[in-house]
Amino acid sequence: MNGVRKFLEGLSKREDLKVFRPLIKAVDGFFFGVSRTTTPSPYLPHVVDNIDVKRYMSVVILALLPSVVAGVYFFGIRVILLIVVSYICGGTAEVLFAIVRKRDVEEGFLVTGLIFPLLLPPSVPLWVVGVGVVFGVVFGKEVFGGTGRNIFNPAMVGRLFLSVAFPAIMAADWREPILGGAGGFLKFTPDLVTSATPLIVYKTSHTLTPFTSLLLGKTAGSVGETFRLGIILGGIFLVWTKVANWRIPVAYITSVVIFSLIGNQLWPERFAPPLFQVFSGGLLFAAFFMATDPVTSPFTRAGKWIFGILLGILTVLIRGVSGYVEGVMFSLVLMNGFAPLIDELVLDRKFKARSLEVR
């Protein structure tokens, strides 16, 4: 392996290949690690421990593995193809921007490229995956300057774009999951049997999906959102390793429970019960893997609580009173935009309080 690294280092020093230097360094960083850490970065002030950026990304990817494996089991080997297309198309966009800016390829896409296909229906056309991930990378991150400078979560920006631009494709074909035996490990795609997601079922008939089905992934839904037990385990791992801050998911889930309980008591035909709200749709996946993104969420402690609470309120309201069955992606993108303002208000209040103490 030392020979391979020396070969890559030699390529990066060649003047005739300098245009490809970001790509060569990206390959070197992926296989051999990077020396850069999060501590000195002015764009990640909320990450205070001296961890390698690659290790930071690796922890998130490791936490996502239960969702990836479950996605393949329930929806077939084609899920792997969705991930490959996401990495190729999004990675190409990353490399092109790095070459134009004469910078290294940033490791943040290792997570974005995996999360994005997990947000999609399992039967989505491959070209849609490519269009969505490129849009998310370009308009969710690169236009702001790249990793650490973006305001919005790029994976969710791409998913939101697809929902608005191709609503028929994104909502027309939810597949019944493959159950029993080896599941989707021996099948390319599920059978051509369509099934409504739990949120759609409740919206149309006020029927609640059994809790065990929601927990164990025996429902229709996006690739990575149905196996909630795996999501919870992955989320606990993120919190345990301190890659994710526990305040945001706790505030988010608690807020959803409280406000859905109030809504269900006052308007039961609109607002589902609290337990169903938490364990349906992409709420848990967003709570642990997207709302905790240190770049697009507040970095103050009070800001994290406010962020999570408002996320919960918006999610419940959109699910209950709008024409959309799912409110997670709209509420998350909206709150991403307010995260800097939340931190500013929190810090301003603390500054004023300290000024009064000095007087």
pLDDT above 50 (res 299): yes
User: What was the pLDDT predicted at 354?
Assistant: 63
pLDDT tens digits along 119-161: 999 999 999 999 999 999 999 999 888 777 889 999 999 999 9
Rounded mean pLDDT, 71-80: 95
pLDDT above 60 (res 274): yes
216 and 227 in contact (C-beta within 8 Å)? Answer: yes
260 and 273 in contact (C-beta within 8 Å)? Answer: yes
Residue 107 makes CB contacts below 8 A (sequence gap 6+) with 29, 30, 34, 53, 54, 57, 147
Rounded mean pLDDT, 180-202: 83
Is residue 110 helix, strand or coil?
A: helix
Q: Which residue has the higher pLDDT, 256 or 205?
A: 256
User: What was the pLDDT predicted at 14?
Assistant: 67
C-alpha 119/C-alpha 222 separation (Å) is: 6
C-alpha 344/C-alpha 340 separation (Å) is: 6
Q: Which of 267, 262, 278, 264 is nearest to 327 (CA)?
A: 278
User: What was the pLDDT predicted at 101?
Assistant: 80
pLDDT tens digits along 5-30: 566 567 666 666 555 566 556 556 55
User: What was the pLDDT predicted at 235?
Assistant: 97
Residue 327 makes CB contacts below 8 A (sequence gap 6+) with 314, 315, 316, 317, 318, 319
